[in-house]
A and B are shown apart, each in its own frame.
Chain A
Amino acid sequence: MTASPTTPPPVLKARGVRLGFAGTTVLEGVDLDLHPREFVAVVGASGVGKSTLLRALAGLFAPQAGTIEIPKGQGDDTRAWSMVFQAPRLFPWRRVRGNVELGLEGLALSRAERRRRALEPLTLVGLEDYAERWPHTLSGGQQQRVGIARALAVRPRVLFMDEPFSALDAITRRRLQQELVDLRRRTEAAIVFVTHDIEEAVLLADRIMVLGGQAPGTPAGVVATREIPLPLEARRDHPDFADHLQAIEQHIRGGP
């Protein structure tokens, strides 16, 4: 199949993905076409395999079956994908700038270019003045911003985010959600975002993939996929916001 000139090919293509541990299958039948700059949220009850699916899509976890393709990015100064983890997981022995440079090491960049490329995303997340600080001197929210900057620095085509805001307090979480909305305008990356927070998913995503159990004792699967065709600005205040929220909740509870 060849893509038509008007629709660029997907930046991630998954077919029939089946995941499990040691002989048991946890999740099966996952298909996903992720389009350039698209934001797909993956929701579902805890233990359903959301984070494992994310790791499998990234190639950090081997699926039992199925194919996952992330076409290589252009040029040798970017990476095809990168990840923001639930805990920031900054290297405490590197300064903030050193942490952001991690993914740039080994790319075709001079030292000076690497420095510059690290400062760009730090500026985007408002932490350019913190470049020379040690991670432990930053707050939890600032550390997660550095985690986001580290992921953006490699200019990924696909950005995987694994419940990146779940460990933060409510106020910081809300602020970072808004920052992510703003960030999307300034990056090329398509995003796969795992969360257990349905509101967060409806707030941020273009499309939501709901994982759930089909019948007791059988592996989970994709129970619904829902487009969220609302403008990103002030989504919470949109009259349809609550309807989408309710629909997703129903899917998770196993309703129609």
Chain B
Amino acid sequence: MITPLPRSRRSLLSALGLAGFLLLWELALRSALLPGSLVPLPSSIPGVLAAEISDGIWLEVVTASLSHYSVGVLLGSLLGIAVGVAAALLPVFDALHAWLARLLRPIPPLAWIPFAIIWFGIKPSAAAFIISIGVFWINYFASYSAVRSVDPGFDEVAQAFGQGRFLARLTKVSLPAAAPGILGGLRAGLGQGWMTVVAAELFGIPGIGQRMMEASSLLATDIVVVYMLTIAGLYAVFDFLFMRLQRRLLRWQP
């Protein structure tokens, strides 16, 4: 049997693991086990970050990426939830779109880049579009299966208490009952969004991705790492805030 560690001990070990990794990395470079052209020195990162911030570049690209990200995630989530819930509740709509969804689903978001450029140009809206596609599918499937697996007994209760009409059932049964699944999809979409941000900016739309491309073409790996960590940090902040919201919305769960 696996006995879980106490929480404080677990955190301590996690911190030690991370510090150990950074230390090994630093030592490997300093002892010339690794060539310095491949990866930067970890100890150089804070200085590079400070320089990026004081030049105003960091804030500029982060703001740009954040705006692509927010619009893409918001659009993808809203549409994904709306279509997923509608498909789960309306059999005719479900049947009508089933094959279309099966056809479009396997196409990776990045495969839409040509169309994004044709439709939107090299503009922030093109990046937001690419981001929204990945987020859409995650939310679509999460909402669809969450609504489909709602206990039909709840619908009977709604009907027995005069709440059997579509709108009443939607707001009083389907959405609240499916909320855990829908929120799970939203959270996964928040993560997926960051994964597409960089790729969506690679073709020239200003943002973190473009800055990373520039840096890597100059072999400035330290700058690349600064923005990798920036994305990790932003993701952590968003995920933390969302988890708090999720916990509040689902406080009725045992």
CB-nearest residue of chain B to A134: B252
- The interface residues of chain A lying within 8 Å CB-to-CB of B177 are 91, 93
In the complex, B82 has a CB within 8 A of chain A: no
A60 near B160 with CB under 8 A, answer: yes
A113 to B185, CA, bound (A): 38
Nearest-neighbor residue (CB-CB) of A58 within chain B: B160
* Bound Cα distance from A90 to B159, whole angstroms: 14
Encoded as 1 (CB less than 8 Å from any B CB) or 0, chain A from 83 to 106 comes to 101010101111100000011011
Please measure, in the bound complex, the distance between the C-alpha atom of A215 and the C-alpha atom of B123, giving whole angstroms. Answer: 78
State which of A93, A135, A136, A150 has its C-beta within 8 Å of the C-beta of B161: A150
Give the CA-CA distance A95 to B176 in the complex, in Å: 13
Question: By the criterion CB–CB under 8 Å, are B157 and A92 in contact?
Answer: no
SS of A interface (majority): loop
Q: A58-B160, A150-B161 are in contact. Are A87 and B153 (CB under 8 A)?
A: yes
List residues of B (165-181) whose CB comes within 8 Å of A's CBs.
168, 172-173, 176-177, 179
Task: Identify the interface centre among B154, B161, B252: most chain A CB within 10 Å of its CB.
Answer: B161
Q: Which residues of A contact B252 (CB under 8 A)?
A: 92-95, 134-136
State A102–B177 Cα separation when bound (angstroms): 15
B160 engages A93 (CB within 8 Å) = no
Would you call B254 an interface residue if the criterion is a C-beta within 8 Å of the partner chain's C-beta atoms? Answer: yes
Q: Compute how far the CA of A105 lies from the CA of B163 in the bound complex, rounded to whole angstroms.
A: 8
Q: A93-B176, A93-B179, A93-B252 are in contact. Are A102 and B157 (CB under 8 A)?
A: yes
> Which of B151-202 touch A at CB < 8 Å?
153-154, 156-163, 168, 172-173, 176-177, 179
**Which residue from A89, A93, A107 sits with its C-beta under 8 Å from B157?**
A89
Do residues B253 and A85 form an inter-chain contact, with CB atoms below 8 A? no
Q: A144: CB under 8 A from chain B?
A: no
Smallest CB gap from B176: residue in A: A93
A154 contacts B by Cβ under 8 Å:
yes
Are A91 and B160 interface neighbours, CB within 8 A? Answer: no
> What is the CA–CA distance of A102 and B160 in the complex, to the nearest angstrom?
10
Are B162 and A79 neighbours in the complex by a CB distance under 8 Å?
yes
When the two chains form their complex, are residues A102 and B176 in contact, meaning their CB atoms are under 8 A apart? no
Per-position binary interface string of chain A over residues 158-199, scored 1 when its CB falls under 8 Å from any chain B CB and 0 otherwise? 000000000000000000000000000000000000000000
Cα(A83)–Cα(B164), bound, Å: 14
Q: Which of A60, A91, A154 is within 8 Å of B176, CB to CB?
A: A91
Q: Complex formed: what's the CA distance from A154 to B251 in Å?
A: 28
Contacts of A91 in B (CB 8 A): 154, 157, 172-173, 176-177
Tell me whether A82 is interfacial, beta carbon within 8 Å.
Answer: yes
Contact at B161–A102, with CB atoms within 8 Å? Answer: yes
Nearest B residue to A83 via CB reads: B160
A136 to B252 CA separation, bound complex (whole angstroms)? 8
5 contacts between A and B (CB under 8 A): A85-B153, A87-B153, A105-B162, A106-B168, A136-B253
Given A60-B156, A91-B157, output 19 extra A-B contacts at Cβ < 8 Å: A60-B160, A79-B161, A79-B162, A83-B160, A85-B160, A87-B153, A89-B154, A91-B173, A91-B177, A92-B253, A93-B179, A95-B252, A102-B158, A103-B162, A103-B163, A105-B168, A134-B251, A136-B252, A136-B253
B contacts, CB < 8 Å to A: 153-154, 156-163, 168, 172-173, 176-177, 179, 251-254
